[in-house]
Amino acid sequence: MKETLEKLKETSIDLIKNAVNFDELEKLRVRYLGKKGELTTVLKGLGKLPKEEKPIIGKLANIVKLEITDLLDEKIQTLEKKKLEEKIMKESIDITLPGRRLDPGRIHPITKILMEIKEVFVGLGFAVVEGPDVETEYYNFEALNIPVDHPSREMWDSFYFKPGLLLRSHTSPVQVRVMEKQKPPIKIIVPGKCYRRDSVDATHHWMFHQLEGLLIDERVTFADLKGVLLEFARRIFGKERRAKFIPSYFPFTEPSAEMAIDCFACNGKGCNICKQSGWIEILGAGMVNPKVLKAVGYDPEIYNGFAFGLGPDRIAMLKYRINDIRLFYDNDLRFLEQF
């Protein structure tokens, strides 16, 4: 009996070790461990053995059974590993296939023009400052010498949360906020969003952008204003640009002006971009009104300066030849992907 078992062990281990696929392994499992398997038969026959042999043979048979089971498991794992390796080999990556394109997204045209404009002014020594979109009437109007009967103060021209609190209608309130906190010299630009109850059309939107500028020091002149703004215009629209300053009115500057540049599309000859006039108005500006300086505690006898406000939406429309402001805010990728 013992010899039979030992023989069985030897052959089965040999066969299992040499099996090359799952089919063969399964056949071997049935052959030895199946219901009518060789080892099963031995175990079943234990009862017929003489008493003193039973425990010895029984023990041996169980050990053999364990060894065969372990070996079978081991072999299955080896075969599975081999199968996986073969699969991986076959599936090797085809590096001749073009990769899947990952679209990284683009910079919004307004952000882009803001980056360009900021670079110009930062290069001229201006610091970039921001202020709140929700503003008090004091900063949005009073401190800027905007009279009570000014139309922008009306409920239907601005967005009010409650009396005294509204979405800012321009970035000029940040002038006051900064002057209250700092002493001259001041040299800042303020990019940001503004809100007005305009009906939306190709050139108006209830939300748009402004970039405010403020320079306060001793003995600042209108020539300084012209120099800075002409430099800006040339850096954005071409170094051959000329500028003209047209008298205008803002309550917080005195004197005030609109700056126009000769048309960069036709060099001033007249085309549809400049509406045949040869000139394009691009910003409002002026010398800071002494009343504004007094309101923040500056002595207008010592300090003065200039301020300007320009519209990045309009600058972008001109520079990138976009004919409808709504395109910036529609979120249409066919438009945005062009930048």
Residue closer to ligand PHE, measured from CB, 39 or 190: 190
Q: Name which of 254, 216, 251 is nearest 142 in CA terms.
A: 251
Min dist CB 255 to ligand PHE, Å, is 11
Min dist CB 284 to ligand PHE, Å, is 4
Min dist CB 223 to ligand PHE, Å, is 17
Min dist CB 253 to ligand PHE, Å, is 5
Q: Are 100 and 331 in contact (CB under 8 A)?
A: no
Min dist CB 169 to ligand PHE, Å, is 7
Q: What residues does 214 pair with on adjacent strands?
A: 188, 307
Residue closer to ligand PHE, measured from CB, 75 or 170: 170
Min dist CB 164 to ligand PHE, Å, is 20
Query: Which chain residues interact with ligand PHE by CB under 6 A?
Result: 170, 172, 212, 250, 253, 284-286, 307-309
From CA 200, how far away is CA 206, in angstroms rounded? 7
Residue closer to ligand PHE, measured from CB, 37 or 173: 173
Residue closer to ligand PHE, measured from CB, 109 or 311: 311
Q: Name which of 124, 20, 1, 6 is nearest 64 in CA terms.
A: 6
Residue closer to ligand PHE, measured from CB, 174 or 263: 174
Burial (CB < 10 A; 0-12, 13-18, 19+), residue 85, is: exposed
Residue closer to ligand PHE, measured from CB, 12 or 253: 253
From CA 45, how far away is CA 10, in angstroms rounded? 20
From CA 292, how far away is CA 82, in angstroms rounded? 84
Q: Are 307 and 285 in contact (CB under 8 A)?
A: yes
Min dist CB 234 to ligand PHE, Å, is 20
Q: Give me the half-sphere count of Cα atoms (radius 13 Å) on the Cβ side of residue 310.
A: 24
* DSSP structural state of residue 181: H
Residue closer to ligand PHE, measured from CB, 57 or 233: 233
- Of all residues in the shown chain, the one whose CB is closest to ligand PHE is 309
Encoded amino acid at 281, one letter: E
Cα-trace Rg, the chain: 43
By residue count, the chain amounts to 339
Q: Are 135 and 173 in contact (CB under 8 A)?
A: yes
